[in-house]
Each structure stands twice: as C-alpha cells, then as structure tokens.
A and B are shown apart, each in its own frame.
Chain A
Amino acid sequence: MQISGAQMVIEALIKEGVDTVFGYPGGAIMNVYDEIYKQDGFEHILTRHEQAAIHAAEGYSKISGKVGVAMITSGPGFTNAVTGLADAYMDSVPLVVISGQVPMTLIGTDAFQEIDSVGISRSCTKHNYLVTDAADLPRILKEAFYIANSGRPGPVHVDIPKDVTAQIAEFDYDFEVELETYKPTTKGNYRQIKKAVDAIANASRPLFYLGGGIINSNASDEIRELVKLTGIPAVETFMARGVLGHENPLLISMLGMHGSYAANMAMSETDLVIGIGARFDDRVTGKLSEFAKNAGVIHVDIDPASISKLVKANYPIVGDVKSVVNDMTTIAREKVDKQRYEPWLETIANFERLHPLSYNEDTPNLKPQWVIEKVGEMLGDNANISTDVGQHQMWTAQFYPFSRPRQFSSSGGLGTMGFGFPSAIGVKKADKERVSINFTGDGSILMNIQELMTSVEKKLPVINIILNNNYLGMVRQWQTLFYNKRHSETDLSTQPDFVKLAESFGGVGYVVRTKKEFEDALNDAIKKDVVALIDVKIERLENVMPMVPAGGSLFNMMLENKGDK
C-alpha cells in the first residue's frame, strides 16, 4: 500500500491497538493532524500544554499497562515536552512520543521552530529516531513500540520532518521486529535463582524489598504468592505501592527517607535483602555505607545496569520479575520453612508497636493525613490516585490504603511538580469506572492548572484535592529543619480563589475547613462528575515524618512531628 508518511503514522498507531493519543498540533506536525481529522480509529485528546500531554500519556500508561502515546510539534512544542520525557525515563514508563520537525531541506539552517530535538531527547529517552525517509517509518514505529514496552520500559521519541510526513512510500506493517543489537534477557539463570533461594532458606532475617519493576512486569500476583508461601516480611518502595496491598499482614510499609520506622529498621537489621525490581535509589538507601550493612543481597532486575550500581549484589539475577519469581516459588516450595522466620516477624512487630506511622490531631485545623485516610475510607479501591510533588505526595504514599498495583501514578524519580493533574486526566481515560483523584499542593496545582479545560472539554473529570498549606511545603520543611527556619521564597500566602478558578473553566470548587465540609465536598464532587478543585485548608506547619535526613542512615530517623513549634 502506497501512502504518505502522515497516513503511515495513523495506520501504525491503529495497528498497535492505540485508542488514545494525547497531543497538541503545530506547523511541522500538521500533515499528521490532517490525517487525525480524517480517521476514527483512536481518540485524540487535546491538552492545553505539551508537558501535560506527556504526563497524561504517563498516567494513562501506568493505570492501563499499555504504551502511552503523545504527539507534538517541532521547536517549542517539543521543548515543552522535554520534562515529560525525562519524567517517563526516570520512572520507566513506556511511551511513544512523536514530534514534527522542520523539513529535511531546512534542517541545520536555524529554520523557523527548528531545534535539535533528537539531540535534546537523547539523554532522557530510552531511544530516539530522526526519520529521514518515509520508507523507514513502518519499521521505526514498530521498533519504537517494541523498545518502549520491552526490557526495562521507557519513552521512545520519533522525530519526523514535515516533508517526510508528505512523502509517499510503501506501507507494510506485517513483520516481526528483529533487532540484532537489542535482546533483553527475560529468563533468569536457573542455577543462580536456586542459589538465591538456598540463601533465603538459610537466612534468619530475610526481607523482601519490592520495587516498581514488579508493576512493570505485571507480577504482583506472583509476588503475593511468593511472600505468602515463604512468610517473609516485605517493604515496598514508593513506586511499588499497591503491589502487596495494604491488608497484607507481611507488608511492613514503605521504606526510605519518608518510610516507616519499622520498614527502615527492618532494612537495617535484615541479614538478606531480597531486592525485586527495585533500583536502590538514594531516597531509599540513605547513607550507602550503612545500608543493610550486615546483609547479603539478592537483586532481581531486567536491567543489568541496575544491578550492583549502588549496592553490591551477592546474587545478581538478570531477568523479568514474573519469570524469575515463578522459578523462585517453585524452588521455595521445597526448601523454605516459613516457621524459621517467626522470631524475625516478632522483632518487626515490636518495631511497629514502638513507632507506628501516625499523626496527631492536636490542632483545630485539618491534618492532611486525615484527609488522605478519609478518602481511602470513602473510596478505597474505587479510586485511582495521582499526586503532585511535595509533602502531600509523601503523605499519600504513607496513608492511602492502596489495594492493588496500577492504582497509583506519581512522579518518583524526577519529582515533577505539575505531574498530578494531567496524569489524573490520563488515568481517567484509562479507567472510567473509578474516581480519578489527584492529591496536590497549592504550589504544584498551578503548574498545570490549564488542564481544567481539557478535563471539562473531554469529560474526563478529575477530583483535585489541594492540601493547601500556603507553602511550598516540602521545601519549607527542609528550611525549617536544616536552614534555621529561614523560609526563603516558600510562603504562598498569596493565593487564587480556587473556587472561582474552577468555575471559570466550567468545573466545581469547594473551600473546606472541617471534616464535615470535606466529606460533603467530596461526595458532591463525585456526584457532579465534573472536574473539581477541593481547596482543603490544612495545618500550615505540619511536617512529613518520620524522616531520614538526606545522606543519613535509615536507622537514624527523625520521628517526631514538631512542626515549627
């Protein structure tokens, strides 16, 4: 079939099973948008900023497990999208992002809206392409989807010059991707797995350290089975929330900088770390030389470069979580005696009793933790949760009762303020049955506030719960604790009227000061089923606790929430 490059893009997306494209048009990508106009194979969602298009595609991908797709124009369209690409790269989110480029004949001439897009995206994508001939497009697009969603997932950027989208060439999409130079290992080495299970069977205080790779691998069921079978306690990273589910008796909590005391003490006292799909991030390990100091380390990861990057693995296993864990479970059935770990569980229960995750309702103002727990109580499994970045994000990770994988979409690795709202729009598109909540801050929400329009126009209602402390709270917390309370440029006392703001776009807004008002507002927002901003006035100086100061050891936590008092 002889068709244009622009038509090829449409055909390829449809053949890949894409049902949603988030994007924003412009000169260099107009040929493709012309074809979008003519087709009905997928829905295009016009966001109001390119960064939001990428975050929406991320939210869509995280909840659905599918590759997220976004489309943008050259120059400023592309540069606006860079933060999104970087975000997806850090959090291993599979995306295909297609950008227009100036015509081949003008490349290198400082043409209107020309920027070296592939030069910029190289360091924040898994792979990228500049398409120089329409005849290459079918192969490149197919490779892009394959690379994005195999091995360690990540964003792939395809830059297409305008004249290539007009060029006619042969389109054939019925072939298998054959990449001689890219063959991710999925099956773990069986002998190595056996050795690892032997180590587990001989350990006294083993600990599962579960990461986001389990969700990438869709292996939560398998992990739940292995944890249950072995009776070994587990901690989750921020990216793994929902893997075991909050009711799992063997789940301690999140570990790391804002992890629970028990989770961090367990990591400090364990004699065998069983790391699965986790990358030993510095927010998790604290001071490396003190991290799990007396423990052996099993590390299962599909990316060999994650293994022994920061913490030396004694049992490195390169492979896909699902396949490796299935093998582990088979071997563990024979070898592991769960009674062996009972004294260890006792120790952990003591840690939990000593300093449970908690907060004090010691002020007249609402506490953010209460708000999050309340949403959990009212909606629980019935909501998908996005967040922005800051204190509200950490409280959400600590206090929301996540019950399943792919319930949570948040920016972990890059920590991108402005992620939450567009993410929640993508989440809603992926799962219309559930309520899409975005826990956000009074700082973050303004970073992509224009998405009120997208949400209203496309009838993708999101309930934004602004935990409003009139501060860039997370930065304010560090200033309080480590900069002698010099609150430099973090006071956000000057605020918009969030109710009017929401209403002006056709949404609903609420100001909330009491528990009753909050419940009423949330119920009303759910009923109204349009985009909502719930402006919850919370205790201004609440700190996220416990906390491991940056570079400190996990066992040296600040525990008390003294605020600024």
Chain B
Amino acid sequence: MNEISQRRVISVIVINESSVLSRITDLFSARGYNIESLTVAPIPESKYSRLTIVTSGSLRVSEQITKQLHKLIPILKVIEHEDIVEKEMALVKFSLDEDISAIDTLAQAYNGKIVNVGDNSVIAMVADESKRVGNFLKAIQKYNPKEIVRSGAVALER
C-alpha cells in the first residue's frame, strides 16, 4: 500500500540565499527522486522564498523526500499538501493562419485568453489546474501550436 506511486505537491519555505536552490535540486538527483516541475519566487516582505515542487513517488519515498528536505539547514518548512488550490500557467504560440477565435474560446474555458498578437503569430495564455492545462494542450494540438511553455505548478493549502 505504501509503495503505490502518486503525484505529490510539496511546498518548501527557504531562506533566500544563493545556494539554496542547488541544495534542493542536488538532493533530488543524489537520492534519485524525480522533479516534475519546480517553481521559486521570493515571499514578499520577508527573507524567505517559496518553492512549489511537483514530484511523484510512493508514500515511503515522499516521506523521505520531506524528511531529507527538512535536514537541509536553510529550509524553514516543508509542507506536503493534502487539500490545495493548485494553478499552473501555460503560454502557447500559434500561427496567424490558424482559427484564432476558436483558440480564444478554448483558452477562455481554461481561465485564459489571447494575450499577444504579433505580425505572424498570436500567443494564448491559460491558468488552471495542472491536469486541466494538460487537457488544454491536448485540445489545441489540432491548431498546430508552434511553441509551448508551462510554468510549473504553484499551490496553496485551502
């Protein structure tokens, strides 16, 4: 039961110092844990940053990840989320030759819209749960996306 691999979202509060990110990514690679996505940004008006890491593993592995992260000296808190609001953003570039209004309608269904129109391309943005962002990216395949960028998930406990 402990060995079933599952997607897990972990938030990490760290002291904002230069080497802290490599301490964390080194730990993941040294111990063979995988990172699906990782986002970092400073927490406003504090000396801390907040990371959101999406990983996968069994309960045993994820317990170890949490404990090993805790052992890093500049880490203040490690939160393994149970009940969360999770959002991720994606930007997708399309040729102007595609059906732009269809793309816009689709984007709106995923909390998004067209955010930029250039000489020969447009960029659509969506912001939604990671799984739904994935669905959106599947749905727009038929419009031949030229480039796709995903931000990685950010999460807050309810």
Contact = CB atoms under 8 A, between A and B. Distances in A.
Interface of A: 118-119, 122-123, 126-127, 130, 147, 179-182, 303-305, 308-309, 312
B67 interface: yes
Contacts of B26: 122-123
Contacts of A303: 71
Interface in B15-31: 15, 19, 22-23, 26, 30
B64 A305 contact: yes
A305 B68 contact: yes
Interface in B100-146: none
23 contacts: A118-B19, A119-B22, A122-B19, A122-B22, A122-B23, A122-B26, A126-B73, A127-B73, A147-B73, A179-B73, A180-B76, A181-B14, A181-B73, A181-B74, A181-B76, A182-B73, A303-B71, A304-B67, A304-B70, A305-B64, A305-B70, A308-B60, A312-B2
B92 interface: no
B63 interface: yes
B75 interface: yes
B30 A305 contact: no
A180 B13 CA distance: 12
A269 B148 CA distance: 59
B75 A130 contact: no
B19 A305 contact: no
B13 to A, nearest CB: 9
A310 to B, nearest CB: 9
Nearest to A156: B73
Given A122-B22, A305-B68, A309-B64, 15 more contacts: A118-B19, A122-B23, A123-B26, A123-B30, A126-B73, A147-B73, A180-B76, A181-B14, A181-B73, A181-B74, A181-B75, A303-B71, A304-B67, A308-B63, A312-B2
Contacts of A147: 73
B51 to A, nearest CB: 14
Contact of B19 (A126, A130, A182): A130
Nearest to B71: A305
A119 B67 CA distance: 22
Contacts of A312: 2
Interface string B55-69: 000001001100110
B11 to A, nearest CB: 15
A304 B30 CA distance: 19
A200 B35 CA distance: 41
Contacts of B15: 181
A126 to B, nearest CB: 8
Nearest to A179: B73
B29 to A, nearest CB: 9
Nearest to B67: A305
A543 to B, nearest CB: 34
B114 to A, nearest CB: 42
Contacts of B14: 181
Contacts of A308: 60, 63
Nearest to A147: B73
A97 to B, nearest CB: 16
A309 B73 CA distance: 20
Contacts of A181: 14-15, 73-76
Nearest to A152: B71
A376 B60 CA distance: 44
A147 B73 CA distance: 9
